[in-house]
Amino acid sequence: MGGTLALNLAARFPTIVHGIIPINSPVGIFEPPLAELVLNRSAPARVPGIGSDIKDPMASELAYAELPVSCAREVFVLITATSAILSKVTCPVLAMHSREDHVVPPRNGQRILESVGSDEVRLLWLNNSYHVATLDNDKDLIVERAGRFIEDLRG
C-alpha cells in the first residue's frame, strides 16, 4: 500500500514530491476475489490475512492474522481513486514489480508505466521475489537501483 500512497501523494502534491519508487503497488488491477469481497455486503467482519508472500525460505514478514473487511473496502477505494489520477504524477518514477506476486497482479506495474504523466518513468521487473520484495531475494537489487535513482534526482 505504500507505493499506492506515494503515487497518490505525487499526483496531488506535485510541487512537494520530486520522485517516487513504488514497489509492487496496486493501481486498480485486482484479482476477482478481492473485488467480490469488498462488494459483498454479507461478507464477514474479518477474513484471514494475506500472510507473508516471500520467495526466500529464510525470510519472513510479520503479518496480521486477519484482515478487517471494512479496511479492505477503504484500501480498495484508495487504490481505485489513485488509479484515476495517475496521469497527474509528473515527477520521475522508478516503479518496481515482481514478475510473480501473489498479492498484487504484476500487470499493475505495466499500468503505472503506461498511465503516469511523467516524462521520466521506468519499470524494473523483479525476477526473484514475490510481493514483499524488500525482504526477499531482490532486496539488494532494490537498494542499489533505488539509490542510483535518488542520486540521479539529486543531479
pLDDT per residue as tens, the chain (155 positions) = 899 999 999 999 999 999 999 999 999 998 888 889 999 999 999 999 887 899 999 998 888 889 999 999 999 999 999 999 999 999 999 999 999 999 999 999 999 999 999 999 999 999 999 999 999 999 999 999 999 999 999 98
Predicted local confidence at residue 142, as pLDDT: 98
For the chain, the maximum distance between any two Cα atoms, rounded to a whole number of angstroms, is: 53
> Per-domain residue ranges for the chain?
2-154
pLDDT of residue 31: 86
Cβ(82)–Cβ(111) under 8 Å?
no
Backbone angles phi, psi at 125, to 5 degrees: -80, 135
User: What is residue 15's predicted lDDT score, i.e. its pLDDT?
Assistant: 97
d(CA 56, CA 67): 24
pLDDT, position 155: 82
How far apart (Å, rounded) are the C-alpha atoms in residues 147 and 48?
36
Q: Which CATH superfamily is domain 2-154 in?
A: Alpha/Beta hydrolase fold, catalytic domain (3.40.50.1820)
Which long-range contacts link 40-44 to residues 24+ away (Cβ below 8 Å)?
A: 43/69, 44/69
CA distance 102 to 119: 30
Q: In one letter, which amino acid is 56?
A: D
* pLDDT score for 50: 81
What count of Cα atoms within 13 Å lies in the side-chain half-sphere of residue 7?
35
pLDDT value, residue 44 = 95
- Residue identified by cell 511523467 is 118
The pTM (predicted TM-score) of the whole model is 0.93
